[in-house]
Structure 1
Amino acid sequence: MNIESITTAKSEIPGISRYNIVVETNQLEADKINLQIEKQIEVIKSLVSTDTEIIHREVALYKLENTKSNKKAIETIISSVPTSLIAREEKEYIVVQNTGREDENESVLEKLSPLGVREFSRSGRICVMKAMDHISEYIQEI
């Protein structure tokens, strides 16, 4: 098993944290992983979800040298990507931020790469379920 990302944060229910563990695997292996997680102490509920059952995003940061030509090119690129913005601009560098799916963040990286990306960092995936009656209702019943 290869874990692609793990993120954790407090949930909508006080005292309960939500973990998002992303793995690239088949359904049988995902179900086995899920059973192992549910056996852990203090795990309230573990669910297996596919990309079609969730809305997911990650944040990516791209650091580039701040030159006149780069700045103009960066502005042109981010104007064509509604989820991109300049997160920080200093004399020496510009940091671009994009929020999207992994493939969208990779696409922005490809567009910015010819300008000389000095640093690139991507968060783990965060998600919410598309179904309305999910984990929070289950937890509140416990």
Structure 2
Amino acid sequence: MEKKWFTISVYSENNVGLLNRISGIFLKRHINIESLNVSKSEINNVSKFTIVTYITEDWARRIVGQIEKQIEVIKAFYHTDEETIYQESALFKIASHLLFDERQIQNIIKESNSQIVTVSRDFFVLAKSGKRSEIDEMYQQLQPYGIMQFVRSGRIAVSKAEMQISALLQEFHSLKQ
């Protein structure tokens, strides 16, 4: 079976220690987590983990099964990149003089659809949202000018297909009350 990128979505109660146990599932199998994001979901008091990994579909199915055995986990899903709409965000800190002295920097900002977040005497900060490849491309373009700091978020994603999780979460939420 061929390896590909999978986005694993985990809906759970917001309890201390769950992240540790979920990451342990990957650790035991020597599977690298490429990206991880945790946020609230569309239902109150339910968190959503978005995990990106490069594995076979068989391993994705097994890992989702193991994650669902955790008591706090309501439901877990896996999707390929083609089945999701996803983005990442990045911040680039660059020396301020380059914004005014290097015309190419202004072209990179315009062509990449990035935004200037702040400008100070010593530096300016660019924000870029998009696919990983778009952020990587912008990084490559800015690198020759010197990047003072760089940070990238984990992937955030929604599935293209309708997921029945909302009905499941509503039912779960009403049972907890």
- Which TM-score bucket, shorter chain as reference? over 0.9
- Alignment identity in percent? 39
1:32 partner SS: helix
Say if 2:65 is the partner of 1:28: no
Q: Unaligned stretches of 5+ in structure 2?
A: 1-30, 173-177
Say if 2:108 is the partner of 1:77: yes
Distance (Å, rounded) in 1 between the aligned partners of 2:164 and 2:88 = 22
Say if 2:63 is the partner of 1:46: no
Q: CA RMSD in A?
A: 1.3
Shift of 1:136: 1.5
Distance (Å, rounded) in 2 between the aligned partners of 1:125 and 1:106 = 14
Query: Of the candidates 37, 41, 44, which is equivalent to residue 11 of structure 1?
Result: 41
Distance (Å, rounded) in 1 between the aligned partners of 2:89 and 2:133 = 12
> Residues 88-133 of structure 1: CA distance to partner in whole angstroms, max 9, x if unpaired?
1111001111000111100110111111111111000001111134
| Structure 1 or 2: more helix by fraction | 2
Closer/same/farther in 2, CA of residues 37 and 123 from structure 1, 3 Å limit: same
Aligned residue number for residue 131 of structure 2:
101
Aligned residue number for residue 157 of structure 2:
127
Q: Unaligned stretches of 5+ in structure 1?
A: none
- Match for 1:30: what amino acid? A
Distance (Å, rounded) in 2 between the aligned partners of 1:26 and 1:54 = 17
Shift of 1:138: 2.9
Q: TM-score, normalised by structure 2?
A: 0.75
Aligned residue number for residue 169 of structure 2:
139
Distance (Å, rounded) in 1 between the aligned partners of 2:159 and 2:60 = 17
